[in-house]
Amino acid sequence: MSPTFTASAPAKVNLLLRCGQPDEKGYHQLFTVFHSLNLRETVSLTPREDGKITVTNQPADPSQSAITCPPELDELPAEKHLAVRAVKLIQDTYGIKTGADLVVTKAVPVAGGMAGGSADAAAALWAAKHAFGLSVPKVELLPLARQLGADVPACLLGEILLGTGYGDHLKLLGPVPQRYWVMATNQTGLSTPLVFQQADRHPEQLAAELPTELSEAELKLLQGTDSSDTWTDFLELLENDLTLPALELRPDLAAPLAGVNALKDVDQQPLTRAILSGSGPTLAAPALDLPSAQKIAQTFQTYPGIERCYILQGPVPGAQLH
Ligand SMILES: C[C@](O)(CO)[C@H](O)COP(=O)(O)OP(=O)(O)OC[C@H]1O[C@@H](n2ccc(N)nc2=O)[C@H](O)[C@@H]1O
Ligand SMILES: Nc1ncnc2c1ncn2[C@@H]1O[C@H](COP(=O)(O)OP(=O)(O)OP(=O)(O)O)[C@@H](O)[C@H]1O
C-alpha cells in the first residue's frame, strides 16, 4: 500500500489592503499585508498508479460541518477543486505520471475571505512535492502557486508578508509579536470577483498608484511589542479598500463593524478596529489580550448573520508536512 503524505497550510487575514485600478484582465494591483492565522487546512495525499486525481472533503470539526464543508464544495467538479488543480499542476510541470487520492480536511469557512481554498491549494502543492519525491525548495513552487490563485503564494509561505502585484509577489516582514485576531464568520458567503467588480464601479476610490514598500513608521508599528501605549497607533494601520464595495453588496455587515468599533478600553481608547477580512464577508478585529478578544467576540455575536467567532493567533508557519 502507498504511504499517505499529509500537509497543512494556514488561513489569512489582510491587515492592510489597498486596491489599485484593474488591468486588461480585470485583475487589480494590490498593496497588502498578509497575516497568517492558526486555523489550518489539511490535505492528505495517497499516491495511485493510474495517474488519476480524486478528492474527498471532510469538515475538521464535524459539529461545524454546515460552516466549513457546505454541499456546494462536494458539488464542485473535481477539476475545479483547488487541491486537485494544485496536484495536476505539479504533475504537468514535473512530468509526474503518478496520481493521487486526496482527503481535504476543511477548517476554514468557504468563501469567507480567509483564503480557505487557497490554503488547500498550498497544502496540496506541499503534500505532492513530498509524495512525488521532488527536491524543489518552497520558493520554486511560488510561480505554480501564483497560477492557482492570488492568495495561494501567501498560504504557502505563511508568517507575515507584504504582497504587491496581484498580491502574489511577497516579501517577509517578520519577526512580529504574536497577536490575537477575532474572526467573525458569516452565515452567507460573498464572492471575491463580485466584490472587485463592485469596487470598479467607483474607480475614483481606487488608488491611481500604490506604494511598493511599507514606511519605516508602519514597519515599526507592525514589528514593535504591543502595549496599551502603542495599541491605538497599531490599530490605525488597519484598513481595507474592499470594505466599501463589500458593504454595498452586504449592508448587513455595517452594524457589526460599527458595534465592535465602538468598544472602548478602561482608558476610553478604542479596544480594537474591526475590518473586512480580504473580500469578506468575514470580519476581523485584533486584540491586545485574551479578555479583550473574548469581549470582541461576544459583541460580534450579538449581531444577526454572524455565524461563529474564532479567536485565533498568528503569525504561523506556511505549508508544513505532518
Ligand atoms: C481579496 C484577496 O483575498 C486579498 O488577499 C485576494 O485578492 C483574492 O485572492 P484569490 O481569491 O486567491 O483570487 P483569485 O482566485 O486569483 O481571483 C478571484 C477573483 O478575484 C479578483 N482579483 C483577485 C486578485 C487581484 N489582485 N485582483 C482581482 O481583481 C478577480 O476578479 C478574480 O477573478
Ligand atoms: N478547495 C476549495 N475550498 C473552497 N472553495 C473552493 C475550493 N476549490 C475551489 N473552490 C471555489 O472557490 C470559491 C471560494 O472559495 P474560498 O473558500 O477559497 O473563498 P475565500 O475564502 O473567500 O477566498 P479568498 O480569501 O482567497 O478570496 C468557492 O466558492 C468554490 O467555488
CATH no. for residue 97?
A: 3.30.230.10
Considering the domain architecture, whether residues 261 and 282 belong to the same structural domain is answered as: yes
110 is in an annotated binding site: yes
Mean pLDDT of the chain: 95
Q: Which ligand is nearest to the CA of 147?
A: 1
119 is in an annotated binding site: yes
> Smallest Cα–Cα separation from 29: which of 19, 39, 37?
19
Over the range 201-224, which residues count as b (16 or more CB within 10 Å of their CB) and which as e?
eeeeebeeebeeebeeebeebbee
Considering the domain architecture, whether residues 245 and 278 belong to the same structural domain is answered as: yes
> Smallest Cα–Cα separation from 6: which of 53, 35, 42, 34?
42
Considering the domain architecture, whether residues 53 and 93 belong to the same structural domain is answered as: yes
Per-residue pLDDT, averaged over 103-123, amounts to 93
Over the range 277-309, which residues count as b (16 or more CB within 10 Å of their CB) and which as e?
bbbbbbbbbbbbeeebbebbbebbeebeebbbb
Atom of ligand 1 nearest to the CA of 165: 26
Q: What is the pLDDT of residue 65?
A: 66
Q: What is the pLDDT of residues 259-293, one digit of tens each?
A: 999 999 999 999 999 999 999 999 999 999 999 99
Number of domains in the chain: 2
Q: Whose CA is nearest to atom 2 of ligand 2?
A: 117
Handedness of CA 155, 156, 159, 164 (dihedral sign): negative
Atom of ligand 2 nearest to the CA of 277: 25
Q: How confident is the model at residue 319 (pLDDT cuts 50, 70, 90)?
A: very high
- Residue 228 in this model has a pLDDT that exceeds 90: no
Ligand 2 centroid to Cα of residue 72, in Å, is 11
Task: Decide which of 148, 174, 200 is a domain's last residue.
Answer: 174
Q: How confident is the model at residue 66 (pLDDT cuts 50, 70, 90)?
A: low
ipTM for the predicted complex:
0.96
Report the SS3 class of residue 113.
coil
Pairing outcome for strands 239-240 and 5-22:
parallel
Residue type (1 letter), 162: L
Q: Which ligand is nearest to the CA of 35?
A: 1
Task: Decide which of 139, 156, 174 is a domain's last residue.
Answer: 174
1 is in an annotated binding site: no
Tell me whether residue 319 is in a domain.
no
Tell me whether residue 320 is in a domain.
no
C-alpha cell at 133: 519525491
**Nearest-10 crossing angle of helices 254-261, 290-300:** 150
Q: What is the pLDDT of residue 245?
A: 97
Q: Which residues are catalytic?
A: 12, 151
Tell me whether residue 294 is in a domain.
yes
Residue type (1 letter), 24: E
Q: Which residues line ligand 2 (CB under 6 A)?
A: 73, 76, 80-83, 110-118, 120, 151, 192, 278-279
Per-residue pLDDT, averaged over 116-133, amounts to 98
Tell me whether residue 286 is in a domain.
yes
Considering the domain architecture, whether residues 102 and 167 belong to the same structural domain is answered as: yes
Q: What is the pLDDT of residues 37-64, one digit of tens each?
A: 999 999 999 999 999 999 999 988 877 7
Considering the domain architecture, whether residues 154 and 185 belong to the same structural domain is answered as: no
Per-residue pLDDT, averaged over 314-319, amounts to 98
Q: What is the pLDDT of residue 110?
A: 85
Per-residue pLDDT, averaged over 187-209, amounts to 94
- Domain limits for position 276: 179-314
Ligand 1 neighbour 28 (Cβ under 6 A): yes
Per-residue pLDDT, averaged over 61-84, amounts to 82
